[in-house]
């Protein structure tokens, strides 16, 4: 059987009032990238042909920061609920067929494997919809999953509309769905805002589809943490810590030595060659690329740096948007400013500051030297 086409719809229109910020929530940086970019970047690896991103607050800036060849943007002028966001994208969805993955711009920790399982379950079972569920320690704020006597999904009730008994239910809906597009679109006609908030709930769609005789499945997951949304700066800091731990584990599995992994900060865009050693307190930001068998000693800070093989960056050195060729040494306490190029086998010594210069092979820049304009 031919695999259905796959599409994604990301909801990213909200401001995020609990951030107390003028910046849209989905643009807040997480490991050096906008929060929403992490999940968007993973979708093509799932066979998703294109992603529709629903934008609202700071729409132009969100589009600029999240732009990509496989992405299109839909403006939600008024934020009237998650169901309204899907209705806003209806015109763009109508020509499409296959599976529609619905995700949120503030859930960057969800694993690729989890989304793949969601897509594959819908396609294998030929269901109209499949939604992920989990049982967090504290279900406050989430819609509760209601099951019938046979244990099948019966309904989802938002916490604001739930009875005291329903609020005691532990299984919740974190809001990630996979729909069969041809069955979803007719069901959108039945969405309404007859609830305490006067909003259009995406959570009403499973009930609507079941009433239409369609199959709707709930897919439990074991890790509630990967599905949590980021709604304030405390949760952003927690997500940052978790993602940085994941990045450290990844690079150590690729042959990088970290003497104190919990103290090393690595952005998502960084690349590191095997047999490189990172000392405590190292910060690697942006699109930094480090070759094989390098040594980055304690408290050095690299941002947008490109290092060849066998480079030594000695203690407390800073390299910004510059290139250091193989076999060279920088520092300790050196500063390479933007657009500096250090050739092979060079030595940039103690307390040297270099700006917009090129050091040829074998050059030694000594103590308290300033080069460039």
* Residues marked as catalytic: 367
Distance of CA 30 to CAs 59, 162, 174, 217, 338, Å? 19, 33, 20, 32, 24
Do the strands 341-342 and 358-359 form a parallel or antiparallel pair, or are they unpaired?
A: parallel
3-state helix, strand, coil in the chain (%, to 5): 30, 25, 45
Nearest to 85 by CA among 126, 44, 52, 38: 52
What DSSP character marks residue 189?
A: G
The DSSP letter of residue 5 is: P
Q: Which residues pair with 330 in a beta bridge?
A: 313, 348
Tell me how far apart the alpha carbons of residues 12 and 85 are, in angstroms, rounded to a whole number: 9
Cis peptide before 20 (omega within 30 of 0): no
Question: Pairing relation of β-strands 143-147 and 172-173?
Answer: antiparallel
Q: Which residue matches tokens 């995700």?
A: 103
Enumerate residues 6+ apart whose C-beta is below 8 A from 189: none
């Amino acid at each position: 059987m031919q695999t259905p086409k796959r599409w994604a719809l990301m909801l990213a229109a909200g401001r995020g009032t609990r951030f107390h910020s003028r910046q849209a929530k989905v643009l807040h940086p997480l490991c050096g990238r906008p929060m929403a970019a992490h999940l968007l970047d993973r979708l093509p690896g799932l066979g998703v042909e294109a992603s529709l991103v629903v934008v609202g607050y700071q729409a132009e800036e969100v589009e600029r920061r999240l732009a990509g060849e496989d992405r299109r943007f839909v403006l939600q002028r008024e934020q009237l609920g998650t169901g309204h966001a899907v209705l806003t994208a209806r015109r763009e969805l109508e020509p499409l067929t296959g599976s529609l993955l619905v995700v949120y711009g503030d859930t960057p920790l969800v694993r690729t494997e989890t989304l793949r399982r969601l897509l594959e379950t819908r396609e294998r079972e030929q269901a109209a919809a499949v939604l992920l569920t989990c049982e967090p320690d504290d279900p406050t704020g989430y819609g509760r999953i209601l099951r019938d006597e046979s244990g099948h999904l019966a309904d989802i009730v938002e916490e604001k509309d739930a009875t005291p008994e329903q609020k005691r239910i532990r299984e919740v809906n974190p809001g990630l769905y996979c729909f069969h597009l041809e069955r979803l679109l007719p069901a959108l006609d039945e969405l309404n805002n007859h609830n305490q908030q006067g909003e259009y709930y995406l959570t009403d769609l499973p009930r609507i589809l079941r009433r239409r005789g369609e199959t709707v499945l709930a897919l439990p997951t074991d890790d509630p943490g990967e599905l949590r949304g980021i709604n304030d700066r405390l949760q952003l800091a927690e997500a940052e810590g978790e993602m940085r731990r994941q990045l450290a584990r990844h690079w150590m599995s690729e042959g990088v030595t970290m003497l104190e992994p919990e103290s090393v900060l690595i952005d998502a865009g960084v690349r590191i060659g095997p047999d490189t050693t990172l000392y405590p307190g190292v910060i690697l930001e942006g699109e930094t690329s480090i070759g094989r068998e390098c040594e980055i000693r304690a408290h050095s800070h690299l941002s947008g740096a490109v290092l060849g093989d066998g480079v030594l960056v000695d203690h407390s050195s800073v390299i910004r948007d510059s290139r250091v060729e193989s076999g060279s040494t920088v520092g300790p306490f050196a500063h390479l400013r933007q657009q500096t190029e250090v050739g092979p086998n060079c030595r940039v010594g103690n307390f040297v500051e270099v700006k917009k210069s090129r050091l040829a092979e074998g050059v030694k820049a000594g103590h308290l030297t300033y080069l460039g304009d």
